[in-house]
Structure formats: structure tokens, C-alpha cells
């Protein structure tokens, strides 16, 4: 494991493959960590990739470099973290790939800094949050699926996450990936990442900001304004839906107009944690984006 000073974070990350290989950054979601990609990495390094797997802010050994930095989980912060890491590692236009928070970070990076990104793999299509839309109710089936987000708007929710983080996160794993038969060892390998001292603050802020109920970090105000304008993705992209992903009923094929360069959309037999449930399909999506490079 490497610890890299990158922007406001000391980012803990795993690196695999040749140092001079074509770079790809695999970003995990909530509540997961870098181990979601354990079976994706070998398929990429076998094709010459340099694979970087960072622990996101609030997860694992990653730490804020200053006590004064806001423990924000907003989308502009996640995207900025990804670009700061690429800068710190001197990556030349990496492919960025992820799901959940990691897909959000990757989409933000691709939308705001297309000159820094060679291509994108994203679960759930154009995964940039429309915060103004989030202020209003969705269909009850969607509201039911995101019950935890509503819980996190309350101090009761913060207390519950702090006291019962493993139980709550394991419940989300089961609900979001109903056909994934993970074992205790698989969950335990990741659950230690939830003990990060900033985990609760970052998670709570992420969902309060996403629903328009908390102010963002002033340092990211301009970036959030640009994201509110719904910028298109102008780099080659493969987007994925998990057929049994309960967070995305109906899928995201209708996001296609937001991708204005080469774009493929695929539906995979998997739930929300697609890289861990269907690693070959996720790796193939990255390799496809690689083949789409000019």
C-alpha cells in the first residue's frame, strides 16, 4: 500500500501492474472499498495496465491532511480527489472507472476535466447528482430503495451509523445485491475500512448535501455550479447497469444523450457491487474503453 499526498488528502492506494503501463484508476463506492476490484485487477494488468485503487475520503487508511478541512462527501470533492491523485502520481490521462461513489467521482472528473481523462467506465450511466431534482420526491419505489439516505438526514441516523456501521452496511450489501452470496470473510475484508475516523462525518454529509439539506464546502462552490448545469461526458465511455441492482430500477439506458463521444451501454447479470459480482464484465468494459482510444 502507498500513501500519497494528493490535495487535501493523504490517499492510501494499492498499485498493481507495470509502472509504465497504461493507467487506470478504479474507485470504489459506499459502503465498499478497494477489495471490490480484487478480481478485476489481474485481467487488466495482464493487458499491460497500471492499476491504482484508492481508498476514498473517509475510508480505510486515507486521511485528511488538515483538521481544518471540511469533512465533505459532496460530488465535487470526490471528483477533485480523483484528479488530485492523478496529478500526484503523474498519471497521463488515466481511464477512470467506478461504481456508486466511485462512479460519481469518475463521472465528475470526466465531465469537468476531460483533458485529464482518457475514458470512463461508470455503473449507473451519467452518475452526476442533480441536486435540485433531489430536493423533490421520486416514485415511491425509488424512495423505498434509498431509505438509508432519508435516515441519514437525521441525527438519529448519524447515531445509528456510528454505533452500528457494520450491521447497517452489511444490510445494504444484501439489499442492493440480492443474488450475491458473499461470505463473512468477504465482508470482513472490507468492513475494517468503515473504522476510518472520518467515515461517519463524510457519509452523513454526502447524503445530506446530495438531497439539498446541507451546504457544501465553499472551496467547491464553483465546481458544484458547473455540475448543476449538467455538463455532458465528452470522453469515450462504457456505462453499465446491474440487472438486479435494486438501487436502479429500470436501469439507466436513457442516459445515453449525456455521452457525446464513443459510448456503449451494457446490462450485466449482477447487483449494485458489479465489480465484485461480475469482475470479468467490469474488466472487459475497461478494456473496451481502452480500445476506443484514438
Please give the mean pLDDT across all residues of the chain: 97
For residue 141, pLDDT over 90 is answered with: no
Q: Backbone phi, then psi, for 13, in 5-degree steps?
A: -150, 155
DSSP-assigned letter for residue 232: P
CATH class of 2-292: alpha beta
Place 294 in a pLDDT band, splitting at 50, 70 and 90: confident
Average pLDDT over residues 76-82: 98
> Three-class SS of residue 262?
coil
* Cα separation, 70 vs 178, whole angstroms: 35
Task: State CA 145 to chain mean position distance.
Answer: 18
Average pLDDT over residues 97-107: 98
Average pLDDT over residues 76-84: 98
pTM here is: 0.97
Average pLDDT over residues 109-119: 98
What proportion of the chain, given as a percentage, has pLDDT over 90?
98
Task: Sort 291 into a burial class: Cβ within 10 Å, 0-12 / 13-18 / 19+.
Answer: exposed
Which three-class secondary structure string do you get for 19-76?
CCCEEEEEECCCCCCHHHHCCCHHHHHCCCEEEEEECCCCCCCCEECCCCCCCCCCHH
Place 213 in a pLDDT band, splitting at 50, 70 and 90: very high
Cα atoms found within 13 Å of the Cα of residue 195, Cβ hemisphere only: 6
Amino acid at each position: 500500500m502507498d500513501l500519497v499526498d494528493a490535495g487535501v488528502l493523504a490517499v492510501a492506494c494499492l498499485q498493481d501492474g507495470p509502472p509504465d503501463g497504461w493507467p487506470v484508476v478504479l474507485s470504489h463506492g459506499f459502503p465498499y472499498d478497494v477489495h471490490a476490484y480484487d478480481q478485476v485487477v489481474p485481467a487488466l494488468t495482464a493487458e499491460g495496465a497500471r492499476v491504482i485503487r484508492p481508498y476514498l475520503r473517509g475510508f480505510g487508511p486515507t486521511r485528511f491532511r488538515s483538521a481544518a478541512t471540511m469533512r465533505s462527501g459532496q460530488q465535487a470533492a470526490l471528483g477533485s480527489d480523483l484528479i488530485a491523485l492523478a496529478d500526484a502520481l503523474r498519471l497521463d490521462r488515466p481511464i477512470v472507472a467506478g461504481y456508486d461513489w466511485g462512479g460519481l467521482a469518475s463521472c465528475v472528473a470526466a465531465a469537468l476535466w476531460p483533458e485529464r481523462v482518457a475514458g470512463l467506465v461508470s455503473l449507473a450511466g451519467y452518475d452526476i447528482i442533480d441536486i435540485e431534482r433531489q430536493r423533490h420526491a421520486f416514485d415511491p419505489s425509488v424512495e423505498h430503495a434509498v431509505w438509508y439516505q432519508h435516515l441519514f438526514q437525521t441525527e438519529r441516523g448519524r447515531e445509528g451509523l456510528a454505533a452500528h456501521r457494520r450491521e447497517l452496511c452489511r444490510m445494504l450489501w444484501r439489499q442492493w445485491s440480492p443474488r450475491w452470496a458473499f461470505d463473512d470473510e468477504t465482508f470482513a475484508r472490507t468492513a475494517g475500512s468503515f473504522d476510518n475516523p472520518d467515515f461517519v462525518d463524510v457519509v452523513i454529509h454526502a447524503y445530506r448535501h446530495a438531497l439539498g439539506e446541507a451546504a457544501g464546502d465553499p472551496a467547491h462552490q464553483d465546481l458544484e455550479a458547473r455540475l448543476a448545469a449538467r455538463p455532458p461526458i465528452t470522453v469515450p465511455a462504457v456505462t453499465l447497469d446491474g440487472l438486479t441492482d435494486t438501487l436502479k430500477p429500470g436501469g439507466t439506458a436513457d442516459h445515453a444523450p449525456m455521452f457525446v463521444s464513443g459510448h456503449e451501454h451494457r446490462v450485466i447479470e449482477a447487483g449494485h457491487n458489479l465489480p465484485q459480482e461480475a469482475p470479468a464484465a467490469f474488466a472487459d468494459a475497461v478494456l473496451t474503453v481502452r480500445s476506443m482510444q484514438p
